[in-house]
């Protein structure tokens, strides 16, 4: 297939969903066929050798790639890579800042590129475009200059098409492709002994509801807390564990106190990746009540498919791209995330029907094995790469 360039602001060992996606992609491209261009991250020296690809670091911290000086250095370094390796296609892990060097490489060397979009950044871009002609023009160059746009869900794809229409690039809308995300079924799986993680985090009793998420407003953790009194009216022993960190924790803790829930809600803080599979196995039901809040929304929801991979039924908020991660009535239930009563009804329905809960958990596991996995995601992206890469190299176009 030839060489592909991946421009990634987010890349391991950096945490977060985009970095994980890019790392999984680098692991699954044929060895030596992908060149990753990124900044310097603490821990890169230990992380880089696990990838069968060249990881090329711009000589500055990754956080500085967003600055004008950083973008100039990144663009110059990427140009050197293109002249040396002559790739046939480029991926942008995110629209900004990776789109800036990608757009220049297309203008200078004719390198086609694809932009991967995740959802929330498009909501923010729409708002900025309405306020600033310069922002509109910049977005037209970066997004409108792509050969293909890859979205993590149908919702994100629809949002991308809307943005392209507003940018006067309707011809690109047929080239918006949907690639739902996945997980690693060999890592996230049923049957892991939950006792050590129960002891570590004090998860005695139950049944336990679980959310794994940043503690942000749009994740719907507050809605689950508000739903919990109704759940406990039906199941007095039900408790709620939240794994993750974020600035909203004090607000959520006050809500727990106001609701008089005491130790029925447990904030676990940061949970290492190594502990997550056992944590899912320690839970009885996964709840991810994400909702649209201002310019924040859930583009897909990787934790939902991680839970499914571990055989958990899921109650999820019917908003954003969540419907592409949870098959309503098959792997879980979609509910109104703005209505605590609806969330409570979904939880009590599944807590009260062990057979249904088990069937949904089994269906979720099958869905991960057959579709929601990183192997399929990488195959999808490699097919798109092959479709849009330049068919023939003109050596003169790389000179200069």
What per-residue confidence (pLDDT) applies to 17? 85
Per-position b or e across 13-27, b if 16+ CB within 10 A of its CB? ebeebbbbbbbbbbb
Report whether pLDDT(399) > 90: no
CA distance 280 to 275: 9
Q: Could you please state the CATH topology (level 3) that the domain comprising 4-181+374-398 is classified under.
A: Rossmann fold (3.40.50)
Report whether pLDDT(396) > 90: no
Report whether pLDDT(243) > 90: yes
Over residues 203-214, mean pLDDT: 94
pLDDT digits (tens, 9 = 90+) for 263-272: 999 999 999 8
- Contacts of 35-38 with C-beta under 8 Å, sequence gap 24+, read 35/3, 35/4, 35/5, 35/6, 35/81, 35/85, 35/87, 36/6, 36/8, 36/11, 37/5, 37/6, 37/7, 37/8, 37/74, 37/77, 37/78, 37/81, 37/101, 38/7, 38/8, 38/9, 38/11, 38/62
User: Quick check: do 4-181+374-398 and 195-370 share a fold?
Assistant: yes
What per-residue confidence (pLDDT) applies to 273? 87
According to DSSP, residue 104 is labeled H
CA distance 38 to 31: 18
Percent of the chain with pLDDT over 90: 90
pLDDT digits (tens, 9 = 90+) for 221-233: 999 999 999 999 9
What per-residue confidence (pLDDT) applies to 36? 97
CA distance 313 to 371: 17
pLDDT digits (tens, 9 = 90+) for 127-138: 999 999 999 999
CA distance 372 to 180: 7
Using pLDDT thresholds of 50, 70 and 90, give the confidence band for residue 390: confident
Over residues 250-274, mean pLDDT: 94
Cβ atoms within 10 Å of 269's Cβ, excluding its own: 12
Pick 195-370's CATH classification: 3.30.360.10, 2.130.10.10, 3.40.50.300, 3.40.50.2000.
Answer: 3.40.50.2000
pLDDT digits (tens, 9 = 90+) for 153-167: 999 999 999 999 999
pLDDT digits (tens, 9 = 90+) for 349-386: 999 999 999 999 999 999 999 999 999 999 999 999 99
Helix axes 120-131, 133-142, angle to 10 degrees: 140
Least Cα distance to 3 among 99, 83, 122, 60 occurs for 83
Report whether pLDDT(218) > 90: yes
Report whether pLDDT(193) > 90: yes
pLDDT digits (tens, 9 = 90+) for 9-39: 999 998 888 999 999 999 999 999 999 999 9
CA distance 201 to 22: 31
Which sequence spans correspond to the domains of the chain? 4-181+374-398, 195-370
What per-residue confidence (pLDDT) applies to 159? 96
CA distance 129 to 135: 5
């Amino acid at each position: 297939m030839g060489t592909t360039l991946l421009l990634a602001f987010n890349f391991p060992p950096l945490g977060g969903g985009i970095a994980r996606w890019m790392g999984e992609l680098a692991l699954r491209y044929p060895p030596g066929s992908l060149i990753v261009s990124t900044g310097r991250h603490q821990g890169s020296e230990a992380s880089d050798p696990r990838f069968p690809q060249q990881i090329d670091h711009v000589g500055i911290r990754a956080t500085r790639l967003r600055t004008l000086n950083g973008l100039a250095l990144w663009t110059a370094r990427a140009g050197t890579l293109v002249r040396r390796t002559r790739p046939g296609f480029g991926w942008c892990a995110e629209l900004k800042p990776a789109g800036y060097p990608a757009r220049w490489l297309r203008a200078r060397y004719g390198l086609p590129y694809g932009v991967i979009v995740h959802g929330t950044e498009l909501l923010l871009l729409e708002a900025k475009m309405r306020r600033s002609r310069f922002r509109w023009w910049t977005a037209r160059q970066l997004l409108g200059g792509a050969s293909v746009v890859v979205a993590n869900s149908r919702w994100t794809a629809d949002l991308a098409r809307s943005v392209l229409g507003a940018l006067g690039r309707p011809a690109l809308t047929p080239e918006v492709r949907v690639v739902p995300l996945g997980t690693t079924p060999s890592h996230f799986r049923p049957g892991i002994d939950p006792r050590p993680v129960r002891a570590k985090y004090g998860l005695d009793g139950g049944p336990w509801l679980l959310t794994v998420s940043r503690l942000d407003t749009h994740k719907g953790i507050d809605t689950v807390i508000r739903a919990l009194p109704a759940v406990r009216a039906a199941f007095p022993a039900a408790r709620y564990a939240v794994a993750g960190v974020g600035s909203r924790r004090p607000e959520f803790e006050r809500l727990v106190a106001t609701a008089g829930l005491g130790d029925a809600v447990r904030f676990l803080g940061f949970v290492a990746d190594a502990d997550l599979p056992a944590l899912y196995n320690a839970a009885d039901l996964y709840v991810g009540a994400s909702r649209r809040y201002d310019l924040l929304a859930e583009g897909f929801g990787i934790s939902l498919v991680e839970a499914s991979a571990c055989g958990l039924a899921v109650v999820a908020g019917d908003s954003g791209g969540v419907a592409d991660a949870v098959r309503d009535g098959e792997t879980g239930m979609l509910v109104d995330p703005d209505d605590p009563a609806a969330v409570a009804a979904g939880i009590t329905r599944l807590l009260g029907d062990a057979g249904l809960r088990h069937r949904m958990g089994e269906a979720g596991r099958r869905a991960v094995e057959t579709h929601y996995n990183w192997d399929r995601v990488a195959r999808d992206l490699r097919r798109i790469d092959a479709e849009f890469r330049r068919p023939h190299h003109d050596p003169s176009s790389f000179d200069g």
